[in-house]
Amino acid sequence: MPKHFNTIKRYLSDDEKRQRAEEYNEYAFDKVDVEAFIRKDIFDETIILKCLNCGFQEEVDYDIISEMWNEFQSDYPESYCANCNKPDVVPLDVYNRIKGLK
pLDDT-derived band at 100, boundaries 50, 70, 90: confident
Within 8 A by CB and 6+ apart from 12, the residues are 20, 42, 43, 44
Portion of the chain with pLDDT greater than 70, in percent:
96
Question: Rounded to an integer, what is the distance from CA 74 to the centroid of its chain?
Answer: 17
Per residue in 43-80, pLDDT tens? Answer: 999 999 999 999 999 999 999 998 988 888 888 999 99
- Please give the pLDDT value at position 101: 72
pTM of the model: 0.79
